[in-house]
A and B are shown apart, each in its own frame.
Chain A
Amino acid sequence: MPRVQLGLIAHARSGDKGNTTNIGLIALDPKYFAVLVEQVTADRVREHFHGICEGRVERFELPNLHALNFLLHESLDGGGTRSLRLDAQGKTYSSALLRMEVDIP
């Protein structure tokens, strides 16, 4: 099984709600949805964003859209208007997630 960056098989968009970032992760081909479900777990995403996300990570499945939605709690240094970070709204976390490596069949 070749190991690839998630960006090869999926795309994403991220945004903010308070101090929480959401990342929608979508399979580029429906056949890769199973890879996302099996390998891009909430625990792995939390580990991936170590140092950025200080709270829990929730994951939701949307099989109809071949997509997952992640909520990264406490990931914006207090939220969009308080944050000291350049990316105060987590807009670039989408491609940060796509750096994760997964095994594809």
Chain B
Amino acid sequence: MIRIANGQGFWGDSLEAPLEQIRRGPIDYLTLDYLAEVTMSILQKQRARDPRSGYARDFPEFVQQAAGDIASRGIKVIANAGGVNPEGCRAAVAEALRQGGAPRGMRIGVVKGDDVMARLDEFAAGGIEMKNLDTGEPLSTIRDRVQSANVYLGAWPIVDALRQGAQIVITGRCSDPALSLAAEIHEFGWAADDWNRLAAGAVAGHVIECGAQATGGNCQVDWRSIPDYAGIGYPIVEVEPDGTFVLTKHAGTGGRVSIAGVTEQLLYEIGDPRTFLTADVIADFTTIRLEDDGPDRVRFSGCEGRAPTEFYKVSIAYSAGYRATGELVYAWPDAYEKARVADRTLRTRLDRLGVRPDGIHTQFVGANACHGERLSGDPSPDLAEVLMRVAVRSTDRAAVERFTKEIAPLALNGPPVVTYIGGRPKIEDVVAFWPALIPKTAVEPEVSVMEV
């Protein structure tokens, strides 16, 4: 049996969680997921400003703090912290190990080859179309606005790095479940066509990849009785060589591992449950059996899988204009009615100014912003306050900029009893995503392991 812990569900997740995973009990592997879809385009911009950046900086900071434990206990760490600069990340991690007092000689593996930004035209010339999976449009529609393009690689390049003795493996983009699946393949020697075991491994990776969402975080069932959110434990899977596993967390930590919470997480961000698609295997979620295995323990078994497709998924980020969001808070009485009048006033002014953004959307936070007017019902005139939130989007930056100057005046020249939050709204660049497929044969994952 091996223990694989996850200590990071996204870049911006708890800084303490990975340290706690190492310090609060036994683990063999620690996986850290830093890359949300939008992260790659942000990192791409950072690298354009400074060629040494472009990776998740939280990761080397964590390594420095944990260097002693990682070295003395032989814990292996697999993280997609490399972003668009895995080599730069390795250099920073090597330095962090030195600063953290780890003995020399540790091996760090890097997986590259996911970044296909520089190859897009070569692909197009070679007949690889990369049409938008949702709309069928050709990539040429947005080619000149592309900011990053990354393939979701699978587990095998990580396995290769582990086989070469890497104790820390840094990847760029790879499918989220691949981080822990690679550990299982490496430890148990699973074959590349052992579909049921690979599927079980992909399921384990899927359940832990969002951190504490598997251990009582964001869980609807009996939420009031979930112990100690402040000290919530992050997920750990105890995996057997046959692929069955128990999901748990360290003893004495907060949160709760229950069938209810685990089921919510199994269904999180999936499509057709019979076809959970990764680069390495397709898992059938309708075959999973869950059983209570004691306090804070849920056993997974029965998972069936089948061969994946001949394609990798590619995520292409492209620039799609500008956006700004303005907010004003209206107080009791008749807060909702006042906020509605303010919204109409703002729109009339924008119209008179000739400011016509491609999209404008107003929501009334406290009244009906999350579920909409129809489902939320009529707001009470006694609401203590309502936040009016107006967002605009346009390919014309000037239109968005003009909008940002029309929020503050409303505080003095519109409906009464209002407070203004912050300064003028900031103008954001909008990044959109172009999902596409690419034949696996067109992409060469690169693995290198270095002693530092």
List residues of chain A with CB under 8 Å of any chain B CB. Answer: 11-13, 15-19, 22, 24, 26, 28, 48, 50-52, 58, 60-65, 67, 69, 71, 77-82, 84-87, 92-96, 99
B290 — which chain A residues lie within 8 A by C-beta? 65
Asked, given contacts A48-B375, A62-B286, A84-B359, whether A15 binds B221 with beta carbons under 8 Å apart, the answer is: no
Asked, given contacts A11-B264, A81-B431, whether A18 binds B287 with beta carbons under 8 Å apart, the answer is: no
A69 — which chain B residues lie within 8 A by C-beta? 267, 270-273
How many of chain B's residues touch chain A, expressed as a range? 35 or more
Kindly identify which residue among B264, B287, B288, B431 contacts A24, using a CB–CB cutoff of 8 Å. Answer: B264
Rounded to whole Å, the gap between the CB of B285 and the closest CB of chain A is 6
B334 — which chain A residues lie within 8 A by C-beta? none
Rounded to whole Å, the gap between the CB of B328 and the closest CB of chain A is 14
Distance A94 CA – B288 CA, assembled complex (angstroms):
22
B320 — which chain A residues lie within 8 A by C-beta? 82
A22 — which chain B residues lie within 8 A by C-beta? 267-271
Asked, given contacts A62-B285, A86-B389, whether A19 binds B267 with beta carbons under 8 Å apart, the answer is: no
Whether B267 pairs with A67 at a CB distance below 8 angstroms is: yes
B359 — which chain A residues lie within 8 A by C-beta? 77, 84
B365 — which chain A residues lie within 8 A by C-beta? 86
Asked, given contacts A48-B375, A79-B433, whether A26 binds B264 with beta carbons under 8 Å apart, the answer is: yes
- B392 CB–A CB distance under 8 Å: yes
Complex A-B, nearest 4 residue pairs according to Cβ-Cβ distance, in ascending order? A24-B267, A84-B361, A84-B391, A13-B264
A71 — which chain B residues lie within 8 A by C-beta? 271
8 contacts between A and B (CB under 8 A): A18-B435, A48-B375, A65-B266, A65-B288, A67-B267, A82-B320, A84-B323, A84-B393
- B307 CB–A CB distance under 8 Å: no
Closest to B220 in A: A11
Kindly identify which residue among A24, A86, A93 contacts B369, using a CB–CB cutoff of 8 Å. Answer: A86
B361 — which chain A residues lie within 8 A by C-beta? 77, 84-85
- B432 CB–A CB distance under 8 Å: yes
B288 — which chain A residues lie within 8 A by C-beta? 64-65
Query: Chain A at the B interface: mostly helix, strand, loop or mixed?
Result: mixed
A60 — which chain B residues lie within 8 A by C-beta? 272-274
Interface members, chain B 149-208 (any A CB < 8 Å): none
- B408 CB–A CB distance under 8 Å: no
Closest to B265 in A: A13
Distance A64 CA – B218 CA, assembled complex (angstroms):
23
Whether A99 pairs with B375 at a CB distance below 8 angstroms is: yes
A84 — which chain B residues lie within 8 A by C-beta? 323, 325, 359-361, 391-393
B431 — which chain A residues lie within 8 A by C-beta? 81
Kindly identify which residue among B220, B221, B363, B375 contacts A85, using a CB–CB cutoff of 8 Å. Answer: B363
Rounded to whole Å, the gap between the CB of B347 and the closest CB of chain A is 14
Whether B38 pairs with A81 at a CB distance below 8 angstroms is: yes
- B260 CB–A CB distance under 8 Å: yes
B271 — which chain A residues lie within 8 A by C-beta? 17, 22, 69, 71
Kindly identify which residue among B221, B260, B370 contacts A92, using a CB–CB cutoff of 8 Å. Answer: B370
Whether A13 pairs with B268 at a CB distance below 8 angstroms is: yes
Rounded to whole Å, the gap between the CB of B152 and the closest CB of chain A is 13
- B296 CB–A CB distance under 8 Å: no
Closest to A7 in B: B220
Kindly identify which residue among A11, A18, A77, A86 contacts B260, using a CB–CB cutoff of 8 Å. Answer: A11
Distance A67 CA – B262 CA, assembled complex (angstroms):
12
B323 — which chain A residues lie within 8 A by C-beta? 82, 84
Distance A94 CA – B391 CA, assembled complex (angstroms):
23
Whether A13 pairs with B369 at a CB distance below 8 angstroms is: no
